[in-house]
């Protein structure tokens, strides 16, 4: 073929959808290609049109009139475009026979429920050679449509170009019968140009814009193109299954919509038309509502901080709605009311990553819309669902100052009544004890809306209210709600939220025993909240958090209760509650199943819970990892719900924690070999790594679920957070390997690079990387024995660890630049608005814990320049938008992390030789902020001349690490990923691969002929042992003993 004789002179981006590539159509029972008897005449004709020089270089000159993106195409794409323009009229003379004869196939005439824009997006996502019957039905329904709509014309242009490219190969598509012939098509193009001003070249540009696989590349082409851009292109770019990783892409779309559809009298896409159209024709109010819902979806996924910008965009559009709207049965006030309440509900949806931590941005967006409500006459009023949306946001934001005081003065016993400590408290108004969420509920009742079980559930999370039993104000996401036949579940959700709004398991058990309706049995949601309380960890004694601010439970206060009363109120054990649930006929599912799987300390426990659930068919698939290599297994396993799958990944990582928490990595120092030999006797027996199993399962599961691979980051968040834990080391199948530090770091970086490149960077990835850097350096420099850190005489794995840590530090610095300054580089000519591009706006809230971890990582590596930049960035944030109110308000966790960051910097600065002038400059900056901007941050009063003996153990260790690894800073500038990969590959040749070493797994000869086909049929003692040994190590050991017993004539011991 001619395509094989063309050598691409320069690379280009891979295109899909069959727009600029040859489309191969497979023969099927519904869609077959008409293949005429072809000869070499066609190929000779092609060679005469475009002669080829020696070596494959194209000799034909460029046409004088070509699409403007001509020079951005590869030579092969240019050749195809020339061939189409040369032969599009001559080859399409006999098309449209099916339409002219009236014999239209049933599947082509069938109307589709999908809009033409969605059909265009669907056909572009799949290459023509992979089209299924449903794709051909969509194509046929648009092929016979003769409406002059931009989406329909664009889809027909795709079909025509693919049919022409099929003719180039000597094939013929049956869909040619339903497309216009060349004369009719040119006539329709001219009519379409007169009506809308859009030419065929404009549509070719649309296809060029939508052809890449990367959504960010689509957005870049959209803004670089000079063609006319109808509104449906925006809808395609921001559809929910797209992934916008670059922050510039998202913010530029918001600015473009604001400039071209909100502020202008007429949209830019219709500026050249012969017949002027009003603005409402191109952006009707329901189009804008759909656009805001999709932009909100992307903000939740990749930029929670953009919620206030979307609120400003919505407010500006609502202001442009006239009282008399043309072409609509609704009045202007009704449209404003509908958009206002829809936006209030959209902005209550939580973020995909750290939803509670980012809920402050949702509250800022809702407050901006509430501020514009009185501007109109009549004023915009809230619907019942909008009141609920406001309450769902208020229960997730940090407590206000008054709410914090009420929480501190609540009784330690149950019920948590408010206690008066002085005369001012005695004279207070009872309304002052209510939270903002409860007050919003009172306003809803004053507006005439009834108090339903959904509202009572929100009131339970909001704290005590009038006429109801007191509860703890709990920072949480809003509970789900049901309607129709499932509305009875709302009563159970009220009960479940009362169980959640408690301080400890005893209070939760007391609420569990008091149903809202007498004799009502608890549902799966009530059991889920009770299990969650039983599994919660106790809050640290030194913690300053208040009840309801975290999932940890607080100590139980017995008060004056007797021993009998205490025993009566003591909650049951988890296994006892589980048996009670099964006896009540309630099977674990949904959130309850996820909690039970996470609670499991052994794999057998999780398998038992899964066997009792509706998803018991997946237990056998998850039990044996050797079956995961079979495509049939993964095709079944991909139907497992994401919540259960992520809970299973968490369980595997948590089980790995119990394997490695009691032993440490063996030392390689010469003087420590005797102690290492003694330590080997104390180590547990070699166990299979459940963490390696979790990594393998996550890779294979997301490979068979592309949508989850694009949007679901929870498996990688869990794995990386567990790898970064202080006492977790990665080992594939044996606990005796001396390379666990290197293996842990290599595995972490491999997973980190893959996750960030495919799903984008976020605050959890960044924080885990910073913790990992400090953890590995600590393990390689010190031995932790009996609670004391002893410095090693020889650093562990210095050549490899040093190179990997240098690369990790480089990636940490790049990640901080990306997360801290995401919109600092704005394309030329984009004319951004200040309200949509705030100064140094961040995508995620990293001011707090993530910044503190980054400071620790830079401190232990001695990077004093980066430490100064962190301090400047934090101080700049007081008057910027990227520091939230929780970080600025005292007695909050974010504020405490900023104080710890300042303290670490001040104490480390004299020992790391940070210039005194820089420290003094930063101190004066903070002093000016406190004087002029009411800054609440304080400069720590630390003696800068203090010695190392007066510092904490962690800071002493960081100083020792900085001295022992002096080459890290120099290696950061010169280390490249290629160098690191070369070092890792050479390391792998000497040792086994770090990810899932199947060669080390013991072979179980009796694995397929297992005595128990189902986990439920196994004896309890055997199931417990197999839970600890899912890969058959005990069976292999038993087989060896059996062979030895047969040789010696003795009997094999029992299990």
Instruction: Judge whether 150 lies within some domain.
Output: yes
Query: What is the domain range of residue 976?
Result: 768-827+841-990
For 788, the enclosing helix (H) or strand (E) is: strand 788-791
| Across 460-489, average pLDDT | 87
pLDDT, tens digit (0-9, with 9 covering 90-100), for 407-421: 888 878 888 887 777
Residues 6+ apart with CB under 8 A from 770: 812, 850, 853, 854, 856, 857
Residues 943 and 1024 in one domain: no
Report residue 265's pLDDT band, with 50, 70 and 90 as the boundaries: low
pLDDT at residue 843, as a whole number:
80
- Go through the chain and tell me how many residues it has: 1055
Structure tokens at 414: 């149950």
Residues 147 and 98 in one domain: yes
Report residue 363's pLDDT band, with 50, 70 and 90 as the boundaries: very high
pLDDT at residue 644, as a whole number:
94
Measure CA 445 to chain center. Answer: 37
* Cβ–Cβ < 8 Å for 991, 739: yes
Residues 14 and 39 in one domain: yes
Q: What is the 3-state secondary structure (H, E, C) of 573-641?
A: CHHHHHHHHHHCCCCCCHHHHHHHHHHCCCHHHHHHHHHCCCCHHHHHHHHCHHHHHCHHHHHHHCCCC
Instruction: Judge whether 128 lies within some domain.
Output: yes
* Cβ–Cβ < 8 Å for 74, 56: no
Residues 70 and 182 in one domain: yes
Which of 207-216, 364-373, 459-468, 993-1002 has the least mean pLDDT?
A: 993-1002
Boundary-marking domain end, from 990, 1015, 1031: 990
Helices 916-932/864-876 angle, 10° precision: 10
Residues 1016 and 1037 in one domain: yes
Cα-based distances in Å from 924 to 494, 900, 916, 918, 932: 52, 19, 12, 10, 12
pLDDT at residue 8, as a whole number:
34
Dihedral over Cα of 91, 97, 100, 104: its sign: negative
Indicate the average pLDDT of the chain: 76
Predicted TM-score of the model (pTM): 0.79
Residues 12 and 113 in one domain: yes
My answer on whether omega of the bond before 415 falls inside 30° of 0, hence cis, is yes
Residues 81 and 12 in one domain: yes
Instruction: Judge whether 251 lies within some domain.
Output: no
- Maximum CA extent, the chain: 103
pLDDT at residue 1013, as a whole number:
33
pLDDT at residue 130, as a whole number:
75
- Based on its alpha-carbon atoms, the radius of gyration of the chain, rounded to whole angstroms, reads 33
Instruction: Judge whether 528 lies within some domain.
Output: no
Number of domains in the chain: 3
Query: Rounded CA gap, 365 and 955, in Å?
Result: 41
pLDDT at residue 871, as a whole number:
94
Which of 595-609, 685-699, 772-786 has the least mean pLDDT?
A: 685-699
Structure tokens at 1019: 């004896």
Residues 808 and 869 in one domain: yes
Instruction: Judge whether 79 lies within some domain.
Output: yes
pLDDT at residue 244, as a whole number:
86
Residues 915 and 1036 in one domain: no
pLDDT above 90 covers a percentage of the chain that reads 29
Instruction: Judge whether 159 lies within some domain.
Output: yes
pLDDT, tens digit (0-9, with 9 covering 90-100), for 332-344: 889 999 999 999 9
Instruction: Judge whether 482 lies within some domain.
Output: no
| Across 807-823, average pLDDT | 86
Instruction: Judge whether 985 lies within some domain.
Output: yes
Cα-based distances in Å from 791 to 795, 858, 959: 9, 20, 12
Structure tokens at 1048: 């010696």
Query: Rounded CA gap, 278 and 270, in Å?
Result: 10
My answer on whether omega of the bond before 351 falls inside 30° of 0, hence cis, is no
Residues 1033 and 975 in one domain: no
Residues 6+ apart with CB under 8 A from 444: 382, 384, 387, 388, 455
Measure CA 994 to chain center. Answer: 26
pLDDT, tens digit (0-9, with 9 covering 90-100), for 299-355: 998 888 889 989 999 999 999 888 876 666 788 889 999 999 999 999 999 998 889
pLDDT, tens digit (0-9, with 9 covering 90-100), for 542-599: 667 888 888 888 888 887 888 898 888 999 999 999 999 999 999 999 999 999 999 9
pLDDT at residue 729, as a whole number:
73
Boundary-marking domain end, from 211, 229, 247: 229
Residues 772 and 886 in one domain: yes
Give first-to-last CA distance, the chain, whole Å: 67
Query: Rounded CA gap, 193 and 197, in Å?
Result: 4
Residues 893 and 1018 in one domain: no
């Amino acid at each position: 073929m001619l395509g094989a004789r063309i050598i691409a002179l320069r690379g280009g981006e891979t295109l899909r959808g069959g727009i600029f590539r040859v489309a191969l159509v497979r023969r099927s029972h519904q869609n077959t290609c008409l293949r005429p008897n072809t000869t070499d005449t066609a190929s000779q004709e092609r060679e005469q049109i475009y002669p080829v020089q020696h070596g494959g270089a194209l000799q034909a000159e460029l046409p004088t009139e070509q699409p403007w993106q001509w020079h951005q195409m590869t030579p092969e794409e240019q050749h195809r475009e020339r061939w189409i323009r040369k032969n599009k009229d001559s080859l399409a003379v006999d098309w449209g026979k099916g339409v002219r004869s009236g014999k239209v196939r049933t599947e082509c005439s069938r109307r589709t429920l999908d809009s033409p824009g969605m059909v265009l997006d669907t056909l572009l996502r799949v290459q023509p050679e992979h089209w299924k019957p449903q794709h051909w039905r969509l194509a046929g329904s648009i092929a016979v449509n003769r409406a002059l709509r931009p989406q329909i014309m664009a889809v027909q242009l795709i079909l025509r170009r693919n049919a022409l490219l099929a003719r180039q190969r000597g094939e013929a598509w049956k869909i040619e019968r339903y497309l216009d012939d060349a004369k009719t098509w040119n006539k329709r193009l001219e009519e379409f140009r007169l009506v809308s001003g859009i030419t065929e070249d404009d549509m070719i540009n649309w296809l060029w814009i939508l052809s890449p696989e990367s959504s960010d590349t689509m957005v870049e082409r959209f803004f670089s193109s000079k063609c006319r851009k109808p509104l449906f292109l925006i809808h395609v770019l921001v559809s929910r299954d797209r992934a916008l990783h670059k922050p510039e892409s998202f913010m530029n779309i918001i600015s473009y919509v604001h400039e071209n559809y909100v502020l202008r009298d007429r949209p830019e896409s219709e500026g050249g038309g012969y017949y002027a159209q009003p603005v409402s024709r191109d952006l009707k109010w329901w189009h804008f509502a759909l656009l805001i819902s999709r932009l909100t979806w992307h903000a939740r996924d990749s930029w929670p901080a953009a919620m206030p910008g979307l609120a400003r965009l919505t407010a500006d559009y609502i202001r442009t709605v006239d009282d008399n709207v043309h072409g609509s049965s609704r009045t202007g006030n009704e449209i404003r009311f509908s958009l206002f309440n829809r936006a209030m509900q959209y902005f209550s949806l939580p973020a995909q990553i750290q939803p509670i931590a980012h809920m402050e941005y949702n509250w800022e967006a809702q407050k901006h819309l509430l501020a514009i409500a009185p501007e109109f006459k009549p004023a915009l009023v809230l619907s019942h669902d909008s009141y609920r949306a406001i309450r769902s946001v208020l229960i997730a934001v940090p407590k206000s100052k008054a709410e914090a005081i009420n929480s501190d003065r609540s009784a330690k016993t149950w019920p948590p009544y408010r206690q008066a400590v002085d005369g001012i408290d005695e004279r207070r108004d009872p309304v002052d004890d209510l939270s903002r969420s409860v007050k919003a509920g009172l306003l809803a009742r004053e507006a005439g809306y009834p108090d339903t079980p959904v509202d009572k559930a929100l009131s339970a999370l909001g704290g005590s209210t009038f006429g109801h039993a007191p509860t703890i104000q709990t920072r949480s996401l809003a509970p789900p709600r049901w309607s129709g036949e499932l509305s009875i579940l709302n009563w159970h959700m009220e009960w479940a939220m009362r169980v959640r709004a408690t301080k400890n398991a005893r209070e939760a058990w007391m609420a569990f025993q008091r149903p809202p309706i007498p004799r009502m049995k608890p549902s799966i949601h009530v059991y889920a909240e009770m299990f969650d309380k039983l599994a919660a960890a106790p809050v640290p004694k030194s913690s300053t958090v208040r009840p309801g601010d975290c999932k940890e439970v607080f100590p139980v206060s017995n008060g004056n209760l007797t021993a009998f009363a205490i025993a009566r109120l003591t909650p049951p054990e988890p296994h006892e509650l589980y048996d009670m649930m099964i006896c009540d006929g309630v099977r674990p599912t949904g959130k309850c199943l996820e909690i039970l799987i996470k609670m499991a300390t052994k794999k057998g426990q999780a398998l038992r819970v899964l066997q009792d659930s509706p998803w018991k068919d997946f237990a056998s698939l998850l039990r044996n990892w050797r079956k995961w290599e079979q495509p049939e297994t993964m095709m079944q396993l991909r139907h497992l719900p994401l919540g259960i799958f992520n809970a299973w990944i968490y369980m595997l990582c948590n089980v790995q924690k119990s394997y490695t928490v009691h032993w440490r990595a063996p030392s390689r120092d010469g003087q420590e070999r005797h102690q290492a030999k003694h330590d080997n006797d104390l180590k547990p027996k070699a166990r299979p790594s459940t963490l390696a199993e979790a990594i393998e399962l996550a890779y294979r599961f997301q490979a068979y679920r592309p949508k989850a691979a694009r949007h679901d980051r929870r498996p990688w968040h869990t794995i990386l957070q567990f790898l970064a834990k202080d006492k977790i080391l990665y080992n594939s199948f044996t606990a005796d390997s001396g390379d666990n530090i290197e293996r842990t770091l290599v595995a972490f970086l491999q997973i980190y690079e893959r996750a960030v490149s495919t799903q984008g960077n976020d605050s959890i990835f960044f924080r885990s990387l910073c913790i990992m850097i400090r953890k590995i350096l600590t393990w390689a420099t010190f031995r932790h024995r009996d609670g004391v850190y002893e410095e090693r005489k020889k650093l562990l794995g210095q050549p490899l660890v040093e190179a990997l840590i240098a690369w990790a530090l480089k990636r940490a610095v790049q990640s901080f630049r990306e997360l801290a300054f995401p919109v600092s580089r704005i394309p030329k000519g984009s004319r951004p608005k200040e309200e949509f591009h705030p100064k140094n706006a961040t995508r995620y809230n990293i001011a707090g814990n993530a910044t503190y971890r980054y400071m620790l990582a830079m401190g232990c590596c001695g990077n004093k320049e980066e430490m100064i930049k962190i301090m400047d960035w934090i101080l700049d944030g007081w008057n910027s938008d990227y520091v939230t109110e929780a970080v600025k308000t005292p007695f909050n966790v974010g504020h405490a992390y900023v104080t710890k960051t300042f303290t670490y910097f001040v104490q480390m600065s004299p020992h790391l030789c940070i210039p005194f002038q820089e420290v003094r400059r930063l101190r004066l900056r903070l002093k000016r902020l406190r004087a002029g901007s009411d800054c609440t941050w304080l400069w720590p009063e630390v003696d800068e001349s203090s010695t190392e003996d007066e510092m904490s153990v962690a800071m002493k260790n960081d100083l020792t690490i900085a001295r022992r690894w002096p080459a890290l800073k120099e290696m950061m500038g010169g280390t490249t990923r290629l160098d690191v990969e070369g070092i890792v590959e050479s390391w792998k040749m000497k040792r086994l691969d770090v990810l899932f070493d199947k060669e080390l797994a013991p072979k179980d000869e009796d694995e397929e002929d297992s005595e128990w086909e189902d986990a439920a049929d196994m004896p309890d003692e055997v199931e417990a042992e197999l839970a600890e040994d899912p890969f058959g190590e005990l069976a292999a050991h038993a087989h060896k003993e059996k062979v030895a017993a047969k040789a010696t004539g003795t009997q094999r011991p029992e299990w």
